[in-house]
Amino acid sequence: MTVPLIEMRNISKSFGAVVALRQVSLSIAAGEVVGLVGDNAAGKSTLMKILSGVYTPDAGEIMLDGRAQALATPMDARGAGIEMVYQDFALVPELSVTQNIFLGRELLQGGLRSKFVDKAKMRERATHWIERLGLRVPPVDTPVRATSGGQQQAVAIARATAFDARLVIMDEPTANLAAAAIEKVRAAIGRLRSHGVAVIVISHRIEDILETADRAIVLKHGAVVGERRIEDTRGDELVHMIVAGRDPRDAAAGGGDGDGAGAAADGGAGGSAPP
């Protein structure tokens, strides 16, 4: 078995007395699209914020290419090729499309002007990236506040995918979007997969997951309830797992670990083997 791109092992996180995550493990291969589903407060966002360097876990470790990787800050995560498309897009409304795409990673001029940002080069690249995504092009000098929700989503995706991302996390990518824009987001996810980029999609819309993902992982109360290959499940089964908070196939197997959990454990063991 090949080493997974990213593996999270036994991640736990508490905020004061509130336990947000208990012993959560998951692994994702390059070019795989994983849907992360669960009710509100299931721990999806906390788990992804740990992966994107916003929170540090209380316990557990994160392996990148089979090697332990500290993700103490968002810059660490971005440096490791982990990008996040936030639900609210995390764009600065007053700044231009280009400035937002390069925020935190500005290109600088050379020589004596090495402290100055290179506006011309950034403008050119931003235009190229947005066109490459096949998303509707807002002029890159437009302030983000003057663009539509779909365009802002495009900017956020362009920012997440421009810098050789290896894993892109999308938090509710289709919330607040019109139908045509949703199609474009799904197409963008497909394009990422074909380029070997792993994608984690957090969504309330089961049809998003069924449409785009290879695999779905269900969280409830901060723990993994179960997981399914998409071709092996149906929407109502996932909804049942989200609501009931347990895997119906566990009961069928007569207690103990169900298929899904067993498969996950196997995957973890394979990933931990020395290369």
* CA gap 230, 98 in Å, rounded: 37
Instruction: Give Rg (Cα) of the chain.
Output: 19
Q: Give least dist CB 179 to other proteins, A.
A: 6
CA–CA separation, 64 and 4 (whole Å): 8
Token digits for 55?
A: 């929170």
Contact (CB, 8 A) for 133 and 158: yes
Q: Per-residue x/- marks for other proteins, 130-159, CB under 8 A?
A: ------x------x-xxxxxxx--------
Please tell me the distance from the alpha carbon of residue 39 to that of residue 174, in angstroms, as a whole number: 16
- Using CA atoms in the order 243, 247, 252, 255, what is the torsion angle rounded to 10 degrees? -120
- How many residues sit in the footprint of other proteins (CB under 8 A)? 38
In the complex with other proteins, which residue's Cβ is closer, 23 or 148? 148
Going residue by residue from 37 to 66, which x/- string records binding to other proteins, judged by CB under 8 A? ---------------x-x------------
78 binds other proteins (CB under 8 A): yes
Alpha-carbon gap, residue 169 to 218, rounded angstroms: 16
User: Does residue 91 belong to the site contacting other proteins (CB under 8 A)?
Assistant: yes
Is residue 95 close enough to count as binding other proteins by CB under 8 A? yes
| Residue 92 sits in the site that holds other proteins (CB under 8 A) | yes
Residue 110 binds to other proteins (criterion: CB under 8 A): no
**Under rule CB under 8 A, residue 188 binds other proteins:** no
Query: Could you tell me the CA-to-CA distances from 96 to 8, 143, 266 in Å, in that order?
Result: 36, 4, 47
CA distance 34 to 15: 26
Which CB sits closer to other proteins, 81 or 270? 81
Task: Work out whether 175 is an interface residue with other proteins (CB under 8 A).
Answer: no
Residues that bind other proteins (CB under 8 A): 52, 54, 73-75, 78, 84, 86, 88-95, 99, 103-104, 106, 108, 115-117, 136, 143, 145-151, 177-181
